[in-house]
Structure 1
Amino acid sequence: MTETPIPYSGDHDGPTRVLQLHTRRGVVAKAGVTVGIDGAHYHQPWGRVAFEIPADKPVHVAVSQGGGQIGVAATVLTPEQPSELEYRGPAALYLAGTIGTPGTVKQRGCLLQLAIFALLPLALALVIVIGILLSR
């Protein structure tokens, strides 16, 4: 399936190419992402989206959630680089996302989330046991 790319909104008369961007949710994610291409912002659902970009100059690509303040990740795509990127949302909304070549990005905060979810029940159990012991 070939999708029609979103046209480049900057001032550019030279050759173009198509950026394929694949956005993947983190453990906790907002409803969609905001993609910035050289300062122009596009609100998009999670998944794949195509953008027309200049083929002869570097392009700044940024992705975020929650109106641009959550899970921010950015890169500059040079004409020599392949025009395919992957964004991965973080496991916790206060962390940055990651953006890069598909298959190379990792989700930030997974170990932290695992520690929180694993230790929280243990801490709660400890509080209950201490409460029982103190009430005797």
Structure 2
Amino acid sequence: MSEAPIPYAGDYGGPMRILQLHTRRGVVAKAGVTVGIDGAHYHQGWGRAAFEIPADRPVHVVVSQGAGQIGVAATELTPEQPSALEYRGPAALYLAGTIGAPGTVKQRGCLVQLAIFALFPLMALALVIVIVILLSR
């Protein structure tokens, strides 16, 4: 990542560290994400971003899709935790996203989406079979 980290917006003069945040789209996704750090909001594209955060106290991190309350996921990052997080958008926009240590987050709603996408063609096929059977009598 070649860009400088986004400065911390809160009133804080202590030691800082860099939060590396990787946001990953779900099956259905808005154009970008809104990252909230201790109440300050930053509109970002999908991918990697770096933020300055206090090094000696917990920081509240919230990620949502677009500018609204879609796919919201939140966590509190303590000074003892590594300063890297991953956000994964859900498979359906009415579900919450997930946020956590890189490599540990899973996409919510994959089975629901699979059921929706698989069930509709199966129902259409069953309807066609029923119609063919009725017309062949």
- Per the normalisation by structure 2, the TM-score is 0.94
Cα deviation, residue 118, structure 1: 1.2
1:52-86 Cα shifts (integer Å, max 9, x gaps): 00001110000001313110000000011100000
Q: How does 1:59-78 map to 2 (within 5 A)?
A: 59-78=59-78
RMSD: 1.2
Deviations 1:20-43 (A, max 9, x none): 000000000011000000000000
Runs of 4+ off more than 2 Å: 128-136
Unaligned runs of 5+ in 1: none
Partner secondary structure for residue 67 of structure 2: helix
Mapping 1:1-136, distance limit 5 Å: 1-135=1-135
Q: Output the CA distance in 1 between the equivalents of 2:11 and 2:128.
A: 64
Percent sequence identity over matched residues? 79
**Quick one: distance in 2 between partners of 1:17 and 1:66?**
26
Q: What runs of 5+ residues in structure 2 fail to find an aligned partner?
A: none
